[in-house]
Structure 1
């Protein structure tokens, strides 16, 4: 307010001074008044923008300070090391979860054992809680109630950053890292980001080695059309790069594949999931006890899983092998039959 008063007084003074000068006409006075009004608009705009950015800066600073305090408290509580291997597996003990601000739980009283060395498929309709379950296991969120136990150790007592060094994954929503192929894939295991052999192994695991062999500079090809000599990829090709990134670690304790092949047709997805399942079974001999978690909306691609978990309306309603669940003629049988009938109708048409 004081600044506005000073500016107004200065403008009035300039108008009076101009009008009092000999030979000054109405045009000169009008020009000064117009220039002053325009200057006032610029000043007000600058002040408004400054206050806006100041409020953002203060808000971000407060949030950052809270986040740093929260992270420090979590680190102080997380005093248990990540196990070198899984002997028993991961257990969800009466786990419920609601997103911040959410009124209804997206997971409700889930008790589930994920045995070490097993391939586990999670199925259910949209909104059943599949991706939320994945986020809890990766420790992007903590359960609202209940516990997640890793070989009997509460996951909450393991530092999130340490746990994530032993977790790998590929997701439907992935980021397009516009780096050379070597770094875009190698980012899945940062200590080996420039290791050509490790990157080539990851590409082979994802079935993406043929993609890279067709690029002009192989692993050194710059990705992203916005870069000089950069190469853009199709959505499916970017997804393959993301898949390879998810396979960059050799011995993760938990490998999560959450709808990672949505851009591929059913036959190609089935082929890849068969490969993942076979690789997981071979990994039972590497001593890690790795759990491979598969999520897909295509039920036919998950038949090979050792354990199929069925979520419905945020609840765990069934679990078992494909044969066991089909024989039970419950929710899984219903969903599988509907999808199979739809597929047959599409083929016949």
Structure 2
């Protein structure tokens, strides 16, 4: 069971990072995890090294039913058997069982890849800094930057250094709906009022009002405000109406695949513990959190023996507060011998 985390230590990581190790140790020793006899946990906690700090965490829990699991050693370039439970945090750069890399300086975000018999890639792309700027073009400037960064990651994990294997990429991609198109759809009969900052003439606020009905405000848009009159539309039918505006993956359709989305946008949920289903009025709701895979990985997932009840792509905690992101998961059964083609020496057992 792989678990990919972003923002280890939370938004205020300098104050909260000290609690992370304690939490992980309690998790590993909990009754809920007693059937997971082996574990590998990689936590990037060294926030004092900003040139290398990613705030990513990757946790891998192996069920006792799995008898023959090996992990790739990038330095020795061979697989090694996984035994026991190990936590790595201070020595990530020198750990041969993991590749950690930050994007070049002009990309901004962070990524880390961890490889087994198939590759599991933990990714965190950067967000839309301004709703106003995101609305200016279709697609937005932020979308283009995320595509560049994701292309960099895919090129990196499929280069010639190692044998090509199936790969899964999952985490917070920060994919956003096409803001301009969404607003045009939601406010098709509204008129727009523009408020500007006096000194710079920069757009500060956009207000959309109904042409009739006492010119009721339909949407207010600011740098960090997306206040729509009826956010229920993003929850109805799991937000299916807005999937047409979820297009950031389209240019990778030959390289990345995804199961059908049947859950509401995963971000930005209220962090109020009593408002588990409510979105915050900060951003347009979007499917930021995804589990994607290569064509060969999809072949592992979509198998006749993978009965529908064992193949689930969904979110976690739909009715309770989980933070501003709802975690997203993919559960499936992996048959023995799957993963690396012709892998006679190291075969996997059933995995969920």
Q: TM-score, normalised to structure 2's length?
A: 0.29
Structure whose residues are more often strand by fraction: 2
Structure whose residues are more often helix by fraction: 1
Q: TM-score, normalised to structure 1's length?
A: 0.29
* Structure of greater Rg: 1
Higher relative contact order (CA 8 A, sep 6+): 1
